[in-house]
A and B are shown apart, each in its own frame.
Chain A
Amino acid sequence: MSHATTDTMRQYWELEPHHHPEGASTSLGFWVYLMSDCLMFAVLFAVYGVLGTSFAAGPGPKDLFDLELVAVNTAMLLLSSITFGFAMLAMGKGDQRGTLRWLAVTLFFGLCFLGIELYEFHHLIHIGAGPQRSGFLSAFFTLVGTHGLHVTFGSIWLVTLMVQITRTGLIPANQRRMVCLSMFWHFLDVIWIGVFTFVYLLGMI
């Protein structure tokens, strides 16, 4: 290949490797992970939609669900979403103490949500409406339990990140982690909208 041709190619194509700043594609990659998680939840919603009326002569939604408890649970998750938003704003201002404070508040609401959900599960299993009772209850425990498991791991991640921020401050790597966890946390809130609408509200109509 002649020298002149290479020069022409340089004009039209990028021959040199393109350098991105470190972590530039992290948030897009994490978003794609969330979308794949969304597909998994869609499958569980479809399972619930198919099995949701297979009561096997057992209890149905109206015998089991307590909407006031679900409303309190929804409030907990919604509050944790906005407090995480405040943590992100504090991080944007470089306020490390404020970030940690709002993260702690978020963790508190997240743990309240998990506590209420575990109480509900314990109550259901205690009265004999465990996952093995009917197709409806198997699908219910799988869908709501998977969401709860996500919140559990989100809380573990939250604690880990609080330790990291305490140790190394609001360095770019920790800021990136915060962006990812905030997407994860808000995404779980979006899934919860689907859960309380399709499982609890539609079940009680």
Chain B
Amino acid sequence: MSAEHAHAHHDDHGHDHGSYASYLKGFLLSVILTAIPFGLVMAGGFESRALTAVTVIGFAVVQILVHMVYFLHMNGRQEEGWTMLSTIFTVVVVVILLAGSLWVMYHMNTNMMPQMDHELMQGFGS
């Protein structure tokens, strides 16, 4: 470690900028985790569409974790854990936001369409 780097105070906060080996490892993992879902979908996917979708999403989640560890160098020590904490908070909000929006809007869509049963609506009104 060079002297000018040491006095820049970066390493006091648990930062590490990785090494060639860790970047290459992350890159190779990313290439594999990208190529498999692309190949799967291009080849037509599994017989069950749901299974294909779940597999593709699974690969994406793993690849996001690989990027966070090997490229963004995330760990629990960075900034005394505040980086990790803010990330966990964001992930929780994102999950609530996505799941909630899709859930609510799906039910709005299926229940509020114009072809809704008229007798049923009259039943509600009386």
Contact = CB atoms under 8 A, between A and B. Distances in A.
A1 to B, nearest CB: 32
A45 B19 CA distance: 33
A17 interface: no
11 contacts: A42-B94, A49-B105, A78-B31, A81-B67, A86-B20, A89-B19, A92-B17, A197-B56, A197-B60, A198-B60, A205-B49
Nearest to B83: A31
A65 B45 CA distance: 16
A201 interface: yes
Interface residues of A, number: 52
A43 B20 CA distance: 36
B23 A46 contact: no
A35 B94 CA distance: 10
From DSSP, what is the main secondary structure of chain B's interface residues? helix
A68 to B, nearest CB: 8
Given A94-B4, A193-B67, A205 B45 contact: yes
A24 B5 CA distance: 14
A49 B101 contact: yes
Contacts of B82: 28
B56 A46 contact: no
B53 A202 contact: yes
Contacts of A67: 38, 41-42
A18 B57 CA distance: 46
A194 B94 CA distance: 13
Contacts, number: 138
Interface in B58-96: 59-60, 63-64, 67-68, 71-72, 79, 82-83, 86-87, 89-90, 93-94
A179 B41 contact: no
A147 interface: no
A117 interface: no
A58 to B, nearest CB: 18
A90 B81 CA distance: 27
Nearest to A42: B94
Given A175-B8, A193-B60, A45 B38 contact: no
B8 to A, nearest CB: 5
A42 B57 CA distance: 16
A179 B2 contact: no
B34 A74 contact: yes
A46 B60 contact: no
Nearest to A173: B8
Given A85-B18, A175-B8, A201 B56 contact: yes
Contact of A205 (B20, B31, B41): B41
B107 to A, nearest CB: 12
B83 A93 contact: no
Contacts of A172: 4, 7-8
A189 B67 contact: yes
